[in-house]
Structure 1
């Protein structure tokens, strides 16, 4: 087994590009692990912790390719990564002279003076400085970068407030601005529903379901996960809410977040009530009576938020919750689970989307199932060893614990797929619950590799698999194509994340009754 690395001095690539290259070379035969990162102090430490070497002669402006695997495979991977890093789109020509690379926000703004949004995707140690530069130049900011301190985030957002600009992020993974998907986003119709969300996959779920219901999105604005904390005070959500309230193209507004700090929630709800437009609020886990007031409607799940928004837009009566068990669902689930061994009683959730993991934990709790997680909701327990499940376990594979030195599972699902196989092999597992997230930036064939691995398992003695596909027909991966592939392999596919969690809970309840009856 060889460990190799190569350093490219003063070669910058944004984090999404680096994750995509890492994912591509990780799949080469003979490669055990691969990481392509900038040489920041944090990344150097993570490479060391991952066993990919130490004493790198690299600084934060240098790019590192680090590999573990067979020697020939490592050499091949280095060559492939080198080609990817040096490939550029057709630049055209200007009498044979190539235009100089843009190396600063100032240079980019000089070339495109009408631009008013800067997307920042540099290592977190340097993201705050770039965001401040962009704000000083009069631009709005989307910070894809994470690992920005709360103190820096507050400084940036207070400056944005002074300049009447919006900061999306830090760690804002999803936005749709004037129909343009940014970060991990989906291809959806333009329309009259505006969204402000503190969750990337939450925004994806709601925008996709709105598209599936035949409506469209005016704007989808991300805030970053810390925005609604008491320290930050919801600065970005309040700005986005007010902007959508003033936007003539937006007729209905949706707000999405994990539970905000109480005083922040009250301030946001007060502004929502004053918006003079219908506002749908999904603060995951919050009680409806704490949210509902004139002009503001509470939604208990992400899918409900989309359904209610479309109903309000089209002046229809408000729907009941999407996540319900009707007799047809019960019959289908009972048929699939009748051959399960009575010893199989555990729910095992393996998620690429952090908010999907959060929402699923809440729904399983409501059905009587407390669980373990690396990111537990209130009332659930912290998993002692993130690599080993116990009882009901729901894992966020996109959390930093799993992505240090590795691509996010939405880009490269290899680690997530391995975890699914491990849960299938566990004799306690009754049902494996997982998501498939489509769209720009995500894996081009998210179902293919998993199905290839599943084809090698013993299906006769395996647990049930219940999936939820977040995406649209216009996405590069095409939602119906992914759903059909899963169903053809015997996987149950729910309409939304909440429904999938409810179905998994029903199977677990049935198995618990079966075990008790056999005792």
Structure 2
């Protein structure tokens, strides 16, 4: 039985909807369930999953669709409605509220930054409106067409503004963490990053090494694509060069296009401030090969390993990497490749194709649990490599979720991205993992290097 219920004119945060979806899907008599806003893209997801009925087809982007398939679908829909009531939070009275950008600017006339978090098909329109009003813009939304990203970044450049994103999940602006950021002290190191978890890892390591961050500017994961040509990176670099609170600049990217990377490298040769570059996969003189090395160079300090472990070598063993952070996954895989180690599998569980209609594993780490249990039960896997990412927006206790799924069957090596000031508390998360028998390394690169050494 398939049941759709459309709640007209009802909008809820996508994370809250995903969490309710998981709870409804776990109910007896339910085969599959999803709660999504009725955008064309979301309806396509439901249609492909066999969850869209006639009523759901009539939903608009202003409506909420509750879709359930199973023998007790009707009862589950009613349970979903009740769960939505339970998750509703009253707005903070101290926060000004507006229904439009002009209304928001009336309430906050001195604001100079707009954050856009709407379905991707509407994000460019809202971002363009904000840029036209002279605001810097952070676009949290993903699924923004590439041509729109190029157009927005050119408009921002022409107006002397910053366009962060699209799909910008992390930023640190003048000490204020935005989205999935960590609690990092202010300092004189500026960061430009085409990677959210890359920015988190480097800023957290800088904090743990005793430094601080002036600004951490996310530019979106596609910025160093050849078609975009590092428009956001170059604009952010110029902004940090002009910022008196910044004395050194770190630039981070997932594996970039050669053309965009060269354009940035040529530009920093003219920079009046010292720069550290970590473009993962790019091996060239002066380039930091890992995120850890980038943080170390920024402060001219070395990250000490955590307490030595008694892990046994497994020559010829096979590693399964199960990552929440895409850039952390890429870094681990590149470390293995640099050591000519093959036959290992690295999985980015936060990739778009694995998170459509589902929460990101940084928000719901239980999404990794099934993958982890299968890896630990797989006779072809000898060691598991994982990341744990802390900070605002992340799960309140990801280490406990991971520890529950592990058992004692095979060695597990983990890194924990975060700081002592994060809501989850870095040392507390490390302690939980160690209690579960996990080998905890000082950074993601250290974890991958240890895993590589054990199986080499």
Same fold, judged at TM 0.5 (above): yes
| Correspondences of 1:255-266 after superposition (within 5 Å) | 255-266=251-262
Distance 1:115 1:29 in 2: 49
Aligned equivalent of 2:427, options 462, 480, 483: 480
Counterparts in 2 of 1:323 and 1:333: CA distance versus 1, 3 Å? farther
Contact 1:360 1:498 in 2 (8 A): yes
Mapped contact 1:28–1:77 kept (Cα < 8 A): no
1:419 match: secondary structure: helix
Matched residue SS, 1:91:
coil
Cα distance in 2 between the residues matched to 1:52 and 1:445: 32
Report the equivalent of 1:124: 120
Q: Say yes or no: does 1:502 pair with 2:449.
A: yes
Is the CA contact 2:204–2:418 (under 8 Å) kept in the aligned structure 1?
yes
Q: TM-score, normalised by structure 1?
A: 0.81
In the other structure, the counterpart of 1:244 is 240
- Say which SS state the counterpart of residue 35 (structure 1) adopts: strand
The residue number in structure 2 matching 1:62 is 63
Q: Within 2, Cα distance between the matches of 1:34 and 1:354?
A: 27
Pick aligned residue for 1:88 from 84, 87, 90 = 90
SS of residue paired to 1:255: strand
Q: Is the 8 A contact 2:17 2:36 kept in 1?
A: yes
1:42-67 per-position Cα deviation (integer Å, ceiling 9, x unaligned): 11111233343333031112122334
Residues 167 and 20 from structure 1, CA distance in 2 versus in 1: closer, same or farther, beyond 3 angstroms? farther
* 1:345–1:508 CA contact under 8 A, matched in 2: yes
Query: What is the CA-CA distance between 1:27 and the residue it aligns to?
Result: 6.9
Residues of 1 paired with 2:198 and 2:162: CA distance?
Answer: 20
In the alignment, the residues of structure 2 paired with residue 469 and residue 447 of structure 1 have an alpha-carbon distance, to the nearest angstrom, of 9
The answer (yes or no) to whether the contact 1:198–1:227 under 8 Å persists in 2 is yes
Distance 2:405 2:26 in 1: 14
Q: How far off is 1:507 after superposition? A: 2.3
What are the superposed Cα offsets for residues 465-519 of structure 1, whole Å, 9 maximum, x if unpaired?
A: 111111111111111111101100111111111111111112222xxxxxxxxxx
Alpha carbons 2:24, 2:80 under 8 Å: kept: yes
1:285 counterpart residue number: 281
Q: Tell me the number of residue pairs that the alignment of Structure 1 and Structure 2 aligns.
A: 452
Match of 2:82 in 1: 79
- 2:271 maps to which residue? 275
Q: Counterpart of 2:390?
A: 438
Alignment of structure 1 residues 44-193 onto 2, 5 Å: 44-55=43-54, 56=56, 57-67=58-68, 74-85=77-88, 87-91=89-93, 102-193=98-189
Contact 1:34–1:406, Cα closer than 8 Å, also in 2: no
Structure 1 segment 372-391 matched on structure 2, within 5 A: 391=343
Secondary structure class of the residue paired with 1:158: helix
Contact 1:284 1:359 in 2 (8 A): yes
CA 1:109–1:281 in structure 2 vs 1: closer, same or farther (change >3 Å)? same
Q: Does 1:399 align with 2:351?
A: yes
User: In the aligned structure 2, how far is the partner of 1:308 from the partner of 1:67?
Assistant: 52
Residue 415 of structure 1: how far off its partner (Å)? 2.1
In 2, Cα distance between equivalents of 1:483 and 1:29: 36
Deviation at 1:18, TM superposition (A): 4.0
Q: Structure 2: which 5+ residue stretches go unaligned?
A: none
TM-score by length of 2: 0.92
| Residue equivalent to 2:293 | 304
Q: 2:329 aligned with 1:357, yes or no?
A: yes
CA distance in 1, matches of 2:276, 2:25: 42
Bigger shift: residues 8-17 or 161-170: 8-17
Cα distance in 1, alignment partners of residues 4 and 422 from structure 2: 35
**Counterparts of 1:32-43 in structure 2 under 5 Å?**
34-43=33-42
**Cα gap change, 1:92 to 1:368, in 2 (>3 Å):** closer
Within the alignment, does 1:333 sit opposite 2:311 as a pair?
Answer: yes
- SS of the residue 2:382 aligns to: strand
Alignment partner of 2:413 out of 466, 486, 508: 466
What is the CA–CA distance in structure 1 between the aligned matches of 2:362 and 2:21, rounded to whole Å?
Answer: 13
Contact kept in structure 2, 1:25 and 1:81, CA below 8 Å: no
Report the equivalent of 1:513.
none
Alpha-carbon offset, residue 5 of structure 1 = 4.1
Provide Cα deviations, 1:295-350, integer angstroms capped at 9, x if missing partner: xxx21100111111012xxxxxx65xx699x9x95x7222xx5xx7x8x8211001
Q: Distance in 2 between matches of 1:158 and 1:240?
A: 13
The counterpart of 1:418, out of the listed 346, 357, 370, is: 370
Closer/same/farther in 2, CA of residues 300 and 441 from structure 1, 3 Å limit: same
Give 1:15 shift.
3.8
Q: Is the 8 A contact 1:23 1:411 kept in 2?
A: no
State the Cα deviation string for residues 72-99 of structure 1 (Å, max 9, x = none). Answer: 55533321113434x3224379xxxxx8
Moved more, 261-270 or 273-282: 261-270
Task: Give the deviation of 1:31 after TM superposition.
Answer: 6.6
Counterpart among 401, 406, 410 of residue 449 in structure 1: 401
Q: Is the 8 A contact 1:351 1:395 kept in 2?
A: yes
Shift of 1:24: 6.5
Stretch moving more, 261-270 or 415-424: 261-270
Q: SS of the residue aligned with 2:311? A: helix
